[in-house]
Structure 1
Amino acid sequence: MTDSSPPPRLGSLTFHGPLSEARATRLIGRLAAAAPADVLDIGCGWGELLLRVLEAAPGAKGTGIDIDAEDLARGRVLARERGLADRVTFVEESARGTDRGPVDAVLCLGSSQALCDPGQPHNPAAALSELRRLVRPGGRVVLGEGFWERTPTEAELAAMWPGARTDDHLSLGALVDLAVEAGFRPAWIERASRDEWDEFESGYRYDTELWLAANPGHPLAAETRERVDRQRSSWLGGYRDVLGIAYLTLVATV
């Protein structure tokens, strides 16, 4: 029997990005060691990393900003389940020009575009300048940002997202240099592994693939199948082993 419900969404993901439990634990430990009083999460999604930071830093309060109401609702449920509802606020609003800083710690994983002009190409320098504005001197930022592991070929670009260009991302070195220019010291530089990418990409589609296999005649099956097939092809034929994610632990200069 065909299920009448719509396809599921991201239920198999812990983090909305290629981030392992082990790496998350290390990132959180470096943030918590500074005993932040307040933490801001830009593009927080359901706030899994934010909630874990608050668990590791019991003196901290947190605010998560996102424009996805469904993700924010999931975050509020998680906060209640973990006894953190009185220490975290999830807010549905744009992060561009936000006045919710300065704070002791900022999380911005895969969402720096939320700090930039949506009418212009993504500008990592502008995003880093905004992050510096949002953190106090001596405070810390964990930035998850895309970079090219190597220059993509024309065929790889054609298989990626529509209009993909070589100047969509920087090299890792150029990205770190921009962070220094923005007023940070790069205390820790790391990047997502292939295993983390594979786990994320498969988890991103897992529930939907199971749904498609069980519901081939559902009214939404054709468009859902086209979407996930396009996403998978973009990954396997385009950016796999080409697009990297850097995790930078940045300390704001005094």
Structure 2
Amino acid sequence: MTEADLPPRLTQLTFHGPLSEARAARIVDRLGRAAPARVLDIGCGWGELMLRVLDAVPGATGTGIDLNGEDIARGRANAEARGLAGRVEFVEGSAEGASHGSADLVLCLGASHALSDAEPPEHSAGALRALRRIVAPGGRVLLAEGFWQRSPTSAELAAMWPDARADEFHDLGGLVDVAVSAGFRPVWIETADGDEWEDFESGYQADAEEWLAAHPDHPLAQETRERVDRHRSSWLRGYRGVLGMAYLTLVPVG
């Protein structure tokens, strides 16, 4: 079976998360004004936001770390196409325990699990302590982390991922408190809106849905159909309007 026979993966997503072009532009502008010399992207995927920061800050260099080789290859290709290949390195591997040194800007977008093996929600605190050690004095951390917008009902939890729990996430106030306890001040607090979530969830499934419509009898169709149907149901019946995504711009204290 060739690559062309397989469902394409995430080609209709610009960012691997509920992040709009408008919000990304504001974040890049805000982070770029601090003129970071070195950017580190933990769990980078294809590193789209990191590449935009490098575009905005001439001379800055970046390192992206992720376990997914396909995403790493996409990031390298995008960097090459934008003339940034000489200023960025994409590393396929684990971020936890890696010797990546300090950075003026650390991005951790939906990837706190890469820095802590604690059970949720304690993993957030563990990741924030690790980020506090990594970020250079006077630098910035951009953390994108899930939080409960409201307490989920039993029915909603049952419709989510396996073993979903009501105590799995903090609320927004609790998440910010954890960041403060880890040694940060939150200079900007914002959250993904409904449109950003819908664009992300639709884009996340769109490649597979179009492939299924065109290949209903393919040997992989049943497995793919079950996977995308399960994910869609988890979103629409489970965490839609319940799970939020916070974007916290953090500055280390002292």
Deviation at 1:99, TM superposition (A): 2.0
**How far, CA to CA, are the matches of 1:28 and 1:101 in structure 2?**
22
2:94 aligns to what? 94
Does residue 1:15 correspond to 2:18, yes or no? no
Deviation at 1:59, TM superposition (A): 2.1
TM-score normalised to structure 1 length: 0.97
**How far, CA to CA, are the matches of 1:121 and 1:186 in structure 2?**
21
2:77 aligns to what? 77
**How far, CA to CA, are the matches of 1:109 and 1:151 in structure 2?**
23
**How far, CA to CA, are the matches of 2:181 and 2:101 in structure 1?**
20
CA contact (8 A) 2:187 2:249 kept: yes
**How far, CA to CA, are the matches of 1:150 and 1:137 in structure 2?**
35
**How far, CA to CA, are the matches of 1:126 and 1:70 in structure 2?**
28
CA contact (8 A) 1:4 1:218 kept: no
Superposed counterparts of 1:190-209, under 5 Å: 190-209=190-209
Deviation at 1:117, TM superposition (A): 1.4
Q: Deviations over 1:44-81 (max 9, x none)?
A: 00111110010011121000000000000000000000
**How far, CA to CA, are the matches of 2:158 and 2:33 in structure 1?**
44
CA contact (8 A) 1:146 1:245 kept: yes
**How far, CA to CA, are the matches of 1:147 and 1:4 in structure 2?**
38
2:236 aligns to what? 236
Moved over 2 A (4+): none
- Secondary structure of the corresponding residue to residue 245 of structure 2: strand
Superposed counterparts of 1:150-161, under 5 Å: 150-161=150-161
- Secondary structure of the corresponding residue to residue 73 of structure 1: helix
Deviation at 1:4, TM superposition (A): 6.4
**How far, CA to CA, are the matches of 1:238 and 1:13 in structure 2?**
22
CA shift in 2, pair 1:247/1:70, >3 Å: same
Q: Deviations over 1:101-123 (max 9, x none)?
A: 211000000011000116x4451
TM-score normalised to structure 2 length: 0.97
Deviation at 1:98, TM superposition (A): 2.3
CA shift in 2, pair 1:4/1:145, >3 Å: closer
Q: Deviations over 1:216-248 (max 9, x none)?
A: 000000000000000000000000000000000
% of aligned pairs identical?
67
Q: Which amino acid aligns with 1:156?
A: E
- Secondary structure of the corresponding residue to residue 241 of structure 1: coil
Deviation at 1:252, TM superposition (A): 1.0
CA contact (8 A) 1:101 1:133 kept: no
